[in-house]
Structure 1
Amino acid sequence: MNTPRCDLTQAWAALRGHYEAHGRAFDLREAFARDPGRFDALGVEAPGMFADLSKNRIDAASMKLLLDLASECRLEKRRDAMLAGAAINTTEDRAVLHTALRAPRGQGPFSDEVHGVLDAMLAYVESVRDMRTSGIRHIVNIGIGGSDLGPQMAVLALEAFVHPALSLHFVSNVDGHDITSVLRHLRPAETLFVIASKTFTTQETMGNAQAAKAWFAAHGGTDTAKHFVATTTNVAAAAQFGIDTTFGFWDWVGGRYSLWSAIGLPIALAIGADNFRALLAGAHAMDGHFATAPLAKNLPVLLGLIDVWYRNFHGFTSRSVAPYHQGLKRLPAYLQQLEMESNGKCVDLDGNALPFATSPVVWGEPGTNGQHAYFQMLHQGTDVIPVEFLLVKHPTHDLADQHTKLLANGLAQAQALMLGQRTDQAMAQRAPTAAKSLAPDIVARHRTFPGNRPSTTLLLERLTPHSLGALIAMYEHRVYTSGALWGINSFDQWGVELGKALCSDLLPRMASGDTQGLDASTSGLLRRLLD
């Protein structure tokens, strides 16, 4: 596809000039003072959510130039090619069709195949959830990367919808402490293991699967075929393991985009078939928004453009995600893989070295926990770090007072980051914990906040399967937007491969002690481990 890379466009040069003239010194407080309608102008409605973009360092001029950049980079053409099933993953010659997994029957590519697997999987789900006949009380998902992060995040987020008699467990780390801490609380007769590995060869997953199978047999388990199920395309390997029930998926489903496929089996087991279909429907609604909304009102596109503005012009190196909902506590970890594995690239589609930065570091913790951990740095540290607040208007519990406090804290943190506190304001306040021996002006400087620190607030009415599906799909399309502008392949992950290859070389050396040909550091560490 003949599309220019962002830095080779006229819009990029115009953005550089605009940043130097207006963007570098942009002040949010002054912007709000000049424009009382700023909140309304920069509020965006999308399926399942409202986004307040008004606390970002953008104005009408910068947004116009960013939209010009999207147009010049032919973002809409690239988006449409992805949705149509073109092989946009050029390094692996694959289509990228996670959107097809949530398209209604008859409305997406490969619809018969997709819905055939979906129907079979959900029928199986309901048979397991019928505990009078299945006897299953515990589900253990064994996977890693996209086979773990997405399902685990979603199950935790939808805890209010989980079958009350089912307990979900997730094992990913090859470190034996991970699986042993889960198994010690289980009984074989009540446990179903889900082995999630596309090839049924993933080192960490198969190591844990073998450990689970050995535990199952050692503790009196019988009928492996009943208590183990696989989400894989390697049916023969699963059968050799002793698994009869498998659900497959396709090479156009990338790992970090796979929770909509059979990899979502643990989600479906947790919340049931109807709620899983609602999750898919929410994602499909966001797909429609991404595909049809004008770019100026297209939430994933606008967020992706702001990401480029911050990364490549303001030079911000990270973004903090602060979900003010305990159910979303694993969302930052999920987004780390989604964004950093997708866009952590240093060459363009033609293999040319990039002269600009790509993915920021994505990190965070739930509010209000984060306020007592790293928010000190957000408010007074030397780096400006954009923050993403997620607020949910209606909780699924009845502790109204606590929810009010939670929401007030989220609003207050975004307000404080923007407004800051001047030294003269701090001088006028009493600081009861300040040292009495310090001069008031010194104390005041310690209590000065620079402000003008940007944030986005995403507001959901409720956290439901439908709204969660929309939220996840929004993030997927946002990541694609920035990756498309950067001219990179957001759907491969060659950076994961080198470490795997070197590990395969080191494993036999762990047994033999052979250090020949190793660098001095690795050789020295290996000897210390084996001594």
Structure 2
Amino acid sequence: MNQFSAVSPTPAFTPVNALQQHAEAMQCQPLGDLLRSEHGHGRARALQWTFGSMHVDASKQRLTPRTLELLSQWATSCHWEEKRQALFSGKPMNASEGRAALHMAARWPLETQAPAGMATAVAECQAQQRKLAGLVDKLHAGRWCGATGQPIADVLHIGVGGSDLGPKLINEALGDVPAYRRIRVHYVSTMDGAQLIPLMEELNPAATLVVLASKSFTTADTRFNVQTALAWLSEALEVEKSALYRSQLIGISAKPDKMREFGIPEAHQLTFLNTIGGRFSVWSAIGISVAMALGMPVFERLQAGAHAMDRHFMDAPFTDNLPALLGSIGAWNTQFLDISSHVVLPYDGRLKSFTPYVQQVEMESNGKSVSAAGQSVQHATSPIVWGDLGPNAQHAFYQLLHQGCHTVSADFIAVARHDVTASAGVTDALREQQALTLANCLAQSQLMALGDAAIPAGLRGKIPPGYRGNHPSTTIVLETLDAWSLGALMAMYEHKVFVQAVLWGLNPFDQPGVELGKKLATGLHQKFVDGPQEQGVDDTAQVCDPATGQLLEQILQWRNAGTS
């Protein structure tokens, strides 16, 4: 070669380049080979971690210890430790809104000193929790009476998104036995009134307390539901709405001025910080319905589990840090293995709302294609998160998972022990059911990993092949589903999302993508109320397209026919 020959420069080493090269090699190595190689047992031991009463097993992920080493280098190059420190120090992590992200302050224990940048927020959250506890005690003591003097027996919790999903999940998971519930709580979130209508027929209006939960206090879904609920109470009880505001309405918001304008007395207002995002707000006063339904000790134990995960996330090195590991493994699957679909499969009926909760936390946080610096992102970010209860999903979409054309990643979530107070015969029958549920969880994760190789020798030739396998999954096992473990589990997913945002350069604490659709709906709503405007009238709040115009015309025709 002469001195003028072209020489391709060696690309500079970066963790991302190294991960891309590593991913190319891993694409050629089936997950079954990793699991059943001569190093399989050692690999399995190296890819499992225990935190309190939670066990996490990532051995069915398509990775090796070398993958974790490269992921750690990537996280270090993204300054994840410094950004973690900044998060807990109250720095403005939500750059687009100029705010910190201090949902951890709402669950910080009274006896533990908070980081300097979080101390003021912690003090404010604890003051609101004391007020919350006073309202809950009044309710449980039977001293809270409605406008006509009847003690409150039911709570109507009206919210949407983070003001609904978190409290609803917790009440379902921990209040599965009627004896556990101190008072009945009913959740209303859909803007069409479909959830509210049957409750208005079922509940006693004289004994129903309305909880209006909205961070901004302007969300249309919540506002319309509250208007309808108050109209029902006012007409049924033949009292003015002002009397209801004093006796049968609680407001929870980050906007106390808007609650005052609405007419809610200060004694029935609970506030939370602007620095607490809606989808991270269940630990704040938004969680009052949890305390009302299950009692303050349960709510405090839930917060304690979440705080324990906060401390673990703050202090543990990457190699043992569960949120960092789950976040980086998820980013590995999405960005480097090109797996854009992630299914969450709880194998416990009490966790039926866990998947929708995770959907919001992950997709509303990191479902973005613009970085925190305002630049277009050149790689995949949040996967599409979906799923259902595992036993139900086996009869709904597991056919696609096992023999379809899509590769997915998965989280399997199981509960090892479900203690129930019952007769000996019923207890034995339930233990057998629970054993079958756990067996299905492990079997399905095994089949997703191994595919046809999971068919036992005795069944070969009797079961048609075609199981694709090679779907990576993590299995999370809780010893029991109690308040502490549920709090730790939810907080782990919150911090997982933060880690992924650091790796992808995103701001996980804003959600600009939800706003434009709401603004377009405002203009269309006016058309439904007033009818189509005359041609030529300027409508700056609406973009016209023939497809939407046709639908509007058809719907108006049917709506008008129903009122004629």
TM-score, reference length from structure 2? 0.87
The 3 A distance-change label for structure 1 pair 236 and 488 is closer
Pick closer, same or farther for the CA change 1:71–1:28 going to 2, 3 Å. farther
Tell me: CA distance 1:65–1:221, structure 2 relative to 1, closer, same or farther (3 Å).
farther
Q: Give the match for residue 490 of structure 2.
A: 472
Q: Provide the residue aligned with 2:511 in structure 1.
A: 493
Change in Cα spacing, 1:449 to 1:494, as seen in structure 2 (3 Å) is same
Residue 177 of structure 1 deviates from its aligned partner by 1.5
Shift in Å, 1:160: 4.3
Whole-angstrom CA distance in 2 between matches of 1:430 and 1:39:
30
**Residue 75 of structure 1 corresponds to which residue in structure 2?**
80
Q: Of residues 44, 47, 60 in structure 2, which corresponds to 1:42? A: 47
Aligned to 1:437: none
Q: Distance in 1 between the 2:205 and 2:272 partners?
A: 28
Q: Deviations over 1:352-403 (max 9, x none)?
A: 1111010001111112111111111111111111121111111132321111
Pick from 138, 141, 156 the counterpart of residue 140 of structure 1: 156
| 1:29–1:282 distance in 2 versus 1, CA, 3 Å | same
Give me the whole-angstrom Cα distance separating, in 2, the residues matched to 1:491 and 1:165.
34
Q: Are 1:404 and 2:430 counterparts?
A: no
Measured in 1, the distance between the counterparts of 2:382 and 2:469 equals 25
Q: Which residue in the other structure is 1:368 paired with?
A: 391
- Give me the whole-angstrom Cα distance separating, in 2, the residues matched to 1:226 and 1:76: 48
**1:107 alignment counterpart:** 113
In structure 1, C-alpha distance between the alignment counterparts of 2:344 and 2:376, rounded to whole Å: 29
1:507 maps onto 2:525 in alignment: yes
- The question of whether the paired residues in 1 share the 8 Å contact of 2:171 and 2:290 is answered with yes
From 168, 172, 191, give the equivalent of 1:152. 168
Given the alignment, which residue of 347, 362, 373 partners 1:324?
A: 347
1:191-206 to structure 2, matched below 5 A, reads: 191-206=208-223
SS in 2 for 1:54: coil
Residue 315 of structure 1 is aligned with which of 338, 353, 356? Answer: 338
Aligned to 1:122, what secondary structure does the other structure show?
helix
Please give the secondary structure, in 2, of the residue aligned with 1:387. strand
Structure 1 equivalent of residue 20 of structure 2: 16
1:166 to 2:186 alignment: no
TM-superposition CA deviations, 1:154-211 (whole Å, max 9, x none): 1111114774452221101110222112221101122111001123221110100010
Cα RMSD (Å): 2.1
The percentage of aligned residue pairs carrying the same residue is 39
Classify the secondary structure of the residue corresponding to 1:394. Answer: coil
User: Which of 200, 206, 210 in structure 2 is aligned with 1:183?
Assistant: 200
Is this contact kept in 2: 1:426–1:448, CA < 8 A?
no
Are 2:175 and 2:181, in contact at CA under 8 Å, matched by a contact in 1?
Answer: no
CA contact (8 A) 2:31 2:472 kept: no
Query: Which amino acid in 2 is paired with 1:62?
Result: T
Partner of 1:174: helix, strand, or coil? coil
1:224-239 equivalence runs, <5 A: 224=244, 225-239=246-260
Q: CA deviation at 1:47?
A: 3.8
1:28-68 deviation digits (Å, cap 9, x = unpaired): 33443221222211111224411011011010111111111
Question: Aligned residue for 2:545?
Answer: 519
The alpha-carbon distance between structure 1 residues 409 and 428, as it changes in their structure 2 partners (threshold 3 A), is closer
Shift of 1:331: 0.4
Between the aligned partners of 1:479 and 1:237, the Cα distance in structure 2 is: 31
SS of equivalent residue, structure 1 residue 148? helix
| Aligned residue identity for 1:104 | P
Q: Distance in 2 between matches of 1:30 and 1:56?
A: 9
SS in 1 for 2:55: strand
- Indicate yes or no: 2:372 matched with 1:349: yes
SS in 2 for 1:462: coil
After TM superposition, give the deviation of residue 505 of structure 1 in Å.
Answer: 1.8
Cα pair distance change 1:424/1:102, threshold 3 Å? closer
* Contact 2:182–2:295, Cα closer than 8 Å, also in 1: no
Which runs of no fewer than 5 residues in structure 1 stay unpaired?
A: 1-7, 432-443
In structure 2, how many angstroms separate the alpha carbons of the residues matched to 1:454 and 1:381? 15
- Greater mean alpha carbon deviation, residues 166-175 or residues 473-482: 166-175
Does the CA contact (< 8 Å) of 1:279 and 1:468 recur in 2? yes
How big is the shift at 1:494?
0.2
Check conservation: 2:305, 2:486, Cα contact below 8 A.
yes
Corresponding residue to 1:421 among 452, 459, 462: 452
Q: Distance in 2 between matches of 1:271 and 1:427?
A: 50
Match of 2:228 in 1: 211
Structure 2 CA distance for partners of 1:265 and 1:430, relative to 1, 3 Å: same
One-letter identity of the residue aligned with 1:143 = G
Q: Secondary structure at the match of 1:193?
A: strand
Distance 1:136 1:221, change over 3 A: farther
Shift of 1:420: 1.9
Q: Contact 1:47–1:285 at 8 Å: present in 2 too?
A: no
- What are the ranges of 5 or more consecutive residues in structure 2 without an aligned counterpart? 1-11, 146-150, 421-426, 537-542, 558-564
Amino acid aligned to 2:77: E
Residue type of the alignment partner of 2:202:
H
Kept in 2, the 8 Å contact 1:248–1:262? The answer is yes
Give the equivalent residue in structure 2 for 1:455.
473
Q: Distance in 2 between matches of 1:24 and 1:392?
A: 34
Say whether residues 1:61 and 2:66 are aligned partners. yes
**Which letter does structure 1 place at the counterpart of 2:390?**
G
Asked if the contact 2:333/2:339 (under 8 Å) is kept, the reply is yes
Tell me, yes or no, if the aligned pair for 1:9 and 1:69 is still in contact at 8 Å. Answer: no
SS in 2 for 1:219: helix
AA aligned to 1:522 is: T
Displacement after TM superposition at 1:453 (Å): 2.1
Is the 8 Å Cα contact of residues 47 and 289 (structure 1) preserved in structure 2?
A: no
